[in-house]
Amino acid sequence: EAQVTQNPRYLITVTGKKLTVTCSQNMNHEYMSWYRQDPGLGLRQIYYSMNVEVTDKGDVPEGYKVSRKEKRNFPLILESPSPNQTSLYFCASSLKGSQETQYFGPGTRLLVL
């Protein structure tokens, strides 16, 4: 089944404790992206990747890192999480030529205390 998976789905952590949220897709998509969703602010893009080893900042990249060493995986790294990073995170992927059609993961709900 074609899908985007994220792990973990739920995470409670404390300020400053490094964490990684994994994202994997099995559709051979070139384009991958991370969004965060907060009440009243909609979905905002954090980082995106056009292909392996090609990443760039979105609208709200501060406090986050990403890497794209393999086509299928696009982990989101929070080196030193802070409470303002408490949010619902979504990973998405698409074919390079069909970026209007993005497939989203189930989401990761993060609480930073």
Partner 1 sequence: LAKTTQPISMDSYEGQEVNITCSHNNIATNDYITWYQQFPSQGPRFIIQGYKTKVTNEVASLFIPADRKSSTLSLPRVSLSDTAVYYCPPRMSWGKLIFGQGTELSVKP
Q: Which residues bind partner 1 (CB under 8 A)?
A: 4, 31, 33, 42-43, 45, 48, 50, 56, 58-59, 88, 90, 92, 94, 99-107, 109
**Smallest separation, CB 53 to partner 1 (Å):** 16
Q: Residue 4 or 78: which CB sits closer to partner 1?
A: 4
Q: Residue 52 or 88: which CB sits closer to partner 1?
A: 88
**Segment (H or E) for 88:** strand 87-94
Which of 57, 59, 55, 79 minimizes the C-alpha distance to 68? Answer: 55
The answer to whether 68 touches 51, Cβ cutoff 8 Å, is yes
